[in-house]
Amino acid sequence: MDGLLIIDKPASMTSHDVVARVRRILKTKRVGHTGTLDPFATGVMVILVGQATRLAQFLDKDTKEYVATLRFGAETDTGDLTGSPRPGVDPKAVTIDEVDAALGQFLGEIDQIPPMYSAKKIDGKKLYESARKGIEIERKPSRVTIYSLGIINEAGNRDDARKSFDLRLRVSCSAGTYIRTLAEDIARSVGSAAHLTELRRTGAGKFSIDQAVTLEQLEAMPEPQDALLPIEMAIDHLAKFTLSEERVGKTRNGLSTRVFNAEFAGNEAIQMISESGQTVAIGFYNDAENVIQPKVVLV
């Protein structure tokens, strides 16, 4: 059983919980995922099954898309609704127009300080492990890219006395972007404070929420493996090289193949396919020797 599964993750489950549930439903242990979602978040999780688990490093997973609901008026220590209010924060009342005018400064490449409540490792220890002990760790900024950012609508829950209102944003960004941090930074830029009350991932790389199934839908299927997408979808963005019939067996044995008139970049990942179009391996192009060395053999 090999392929990709796009799951619409529910709230209150960890990414590990989702993987464990899929293992039970599909009755297979070879299940992994390509990127975690916070327990309170929902939406697209790309699940890899069988031989697809070996292809995680090759997936085109740079662009992520989210719908985020920001509650202005208060920050929390986690940056979302699961945390405790951060003391000493006295935000001013702001308008939606002020927020909208500030969004432009966050487009393009920006620096973010990773939140303490995150799985990012420093000196081999996850930041959230220190955060739970009340320990603040110095973090270096990370460079991320915001491709698009815009207001969808006001989401209700307005409380003028508390300078509080909810605003729903659509974000397209590079992998590694912390939407909680983005929410805080947007609010601070207009003299306010905010935290996330909802976060829904609507896209990851080429995969969208329209392709997703819920865990309940998967469990109810007579043949849940029918929900699997072809393994080739994980790698069809890679350049292709067609092997002659006599090179297929040698590639499966790990031998490199010389290429002529190659237009590949040095160390570029290449999909090595048979004449019938079957993926045999993923290899890397060595421009010094003009060969493709198989890295992951699939068949």
CA 176 – CA 252 distance, rounded (Å): 34
Give strand pairing partners of 282.
Answer: 271, 296
Q: Are 18 and 7 in contact (CB under 8 A)?
A: yes
Per-position DSSP letters for 211-267, written without gaps between them:
G-B-HHHHHH-SSGGGGPBPGGGGTTTSEEEEPPHHHHHHHHTT--EE-SS--PPTT
The closest alpha carbon to 46, from 2, 8, 1, belongs to: 8
Residues labelled as active-site residues: 38
**3-class DSSP state for residue 114?**
coil
Q: State which H helix or E strand residue 156 sits in.
A: strand 142-159
Q: Beta strands 125-126 and 121-122: pairing type?
A: antiparallel
